[in-house]
A and B are shown apart, each in its own frame.
Chain A
Amino acid sequence: MLGYIWQYVYTSFLRYWLKWLIRQATGNCELQRICSSCKPGATRTAKAEYSLRCSKNKVVRGALETSKDNLEQCVNQIMQEKNVKSQKDPQFKASLHICLLQITGYSSLYTSVEDLRKEVFSSDNPEHEAMLLKLWDLLMPSVKLDSRITKQWGDIGFQGDDPKTDFRGMGLLGLINLVFFSENYTVEARQVLSHANHPKLGYSYAIVGINLTEMAYSLLKSGALKPHFYNTVQGTPELQHFHQLYCYLAYEFDKFWVAEEPESIMHFNQYREKFHNIVKAHLLEPDVSLTLTVSSKN
């Protein structure tokens, strides 16, 4: 209870008085102090985001919803409002610009990802079909598909003889992630597939992949991936960065699964949750960077 009262008093009064006092003493506004005292990345951008969100000034708060093309102008406006002179703090402008690109980029990345997720896989769409066949060729270069509808799909971990019913709530996003991993990390993807096809420790490669897409998507949606993207992308995060994150999850989950040696595939959700918690714990570290690093002894 006391905590709540303190928080209320702090956010509604004390914070502003403190900011004002420090501003008078140092001659720098809060954003300047953040940009100069924190190193680039999650710490700086997260603090800047908080500062912008709490601001009483409409122009400053509005920066969080500004489109990428208007950001430069927006930075100038903030500098004007806060009376920051470029000559006195030459790095501020560029630093704030990057912070804003990261912050606004995160929301636009979510929008793009959500659009792909909502796009339903359709057999009538030649692009979708081509992507599905490409996935097969990348993973099984030496085996030809007998036909479009075939039990062979089970060999790369789809459930039935037509993969289209497996994309479900993840839509095209699930397929694009699978193809991206196989295309950009072909050796690793085939290695993961061979683990997945292990007679005892195996799992269904494709549907577990779709499940991990769901994990990546939920982490993005909840905002949990912010520190990762703020640390790894010095600008606007794009779709490919999201696909990269999926590759990390697919590769790391496989390593985790093989190391844990679960009794059977029926325990999947239990181990998925365990892996999920590990990932979430990583995301609380200020220097987090979930990038796939290939171990040399492949």
Chain B
Amino acid sequence: MQYVAVRLTSSPLVTLGGVSRREGNKMGLLSILRKLKSTPDQEVRILLLGLDNGGKTTLLKQLASEDISHITPTQGFNIKSVQSQGFKLNVWDIGGQRKIRPYWRNYFENTDVLIYVIDSADRKRFEETGQELAELLDEEKLSGVPVLIFANKQDLLTAAPASEIAEGLNLHTIRDRMWQIQSCSALTGEGIQEGMNWVCKSVNSKKK
């Protein structure tokens, strides 16, 4: 506290930058600021895919701490940037309707992490969602990209547990990338933080 006061009174404002460069090792207020500035958040491109009505947009809005009560089906895509653990997560939420699934591939390039969202209560479409996921994992542009599977809608009584979904989708046969399944409820927010922690961890270990 005293140190800062002396600095400010003894040197005029314009020369402060020079002063702190010389004495940077003392970690004055300015050098701390400069250090923060010199490591801007690393940008991460996250692709959010899954069948329609899986909860992708609700998840996206939860991540951005936005109101989730007026959501409508996604025509096209939504994108939001969220700060998390020193990362700037650019999350692309692409509509899941069958008609626009052919457009998914336009968004594959440079993807760091794939998040695949499943409606755990929609058992009738487990087969369809499994097929779409399998096709995604076969995509060349997504090869090696870590995949997080959100077993969403766990707030519903009829929701299948994540372990059952993992077995149904044969996740244990995935050998070519990191993967994780996380049960969650985009509605209540439960499980989302855990999932995102895994996302940040997998980005870190990939970059090393």
A111 to B70, CA, bound (A): 15
Interface residues of B, count at CB 8 A: 19
Set of chain B residues within 8 Å of A170, measured between Cβ atoms: 70, 72
What are 30 residue pairs bridging A and B, where the CB atoms are less than 8 Å apart in the complex?
A: A154-B98, A159-B52, A159-B53, A159-B97, A159-B99, A160-B53, A165-B52, A168-B53, A168-B71, A168-B73, A169-B68, A169-B70, A170-B70, A170-B72, A203-B75, A207-B75, A207-B97, A210-B72, A210-B73, A211-B73, A211-B75, A213-B72, A214-B72, A217-B70, A265-B75, A266-B100, A266-B103, A268-B76, A269-B77, A269-B78
Q: Are A160 and B76 in contact (CB under 8 A)?
A: no
The 4 closest A-B pairs by CB, nearest first: A268-B76, A159-B97, A268-B75, A165-B53
Question: Could you mark each residue 119-159 of chain A with 1 if its beta carbon is under 8 Å from any beta carbon of chain B, else 0?
Answer: 00000000000000000000000000000000000100001
A159 to B76, CA, bound (A): 12
Q: For the side of the interface on A, what is the size category?
A: 20 to 34
A213 to B78, CA, bound (A): 18
Q: Closest A-chain residue to B96, C-beta based? A: A159
Asked if B69 is at the interface of the complex by the 8 Å CB criterion, the answer is yes
Asked if A67 is at the interface of the complex by the 8 Å CB criterion, the answer is no
Set of chain A residues within 8 Å of B68, measured between Cβ atoms: 169
A169 to B68, CA, bound (A): 8
- B interface, over-half SS: loop
Max count, chain A CB within 10 A of own CB: residue among B53, B71, B103 = B53
Q: Which of B52, B71, B72, B77 contacts A160 (CB 8 A)?
A: B52
How many pairs, one residue from A and one from B, have CB atoms within 8 Å of each other in the complex? 69
Q: Closest B-chain residue to A221, C-beta based? A: B70
Asked if B2 is at the interface of the complex by the 8 Å CB criterion, the answer is no
Q: Closest A-chain residue to B79, C-beta based? A: A269
Contacts A208-B75, A264-B103, A266-B76 known; A218 to B70 CB distance under 8 Å? yes
A237 to B75, CA, bound (A): 31
Set of chain A residues within 8 Å of B99, measured between Cβ atoms: 154, 159, 204, 265
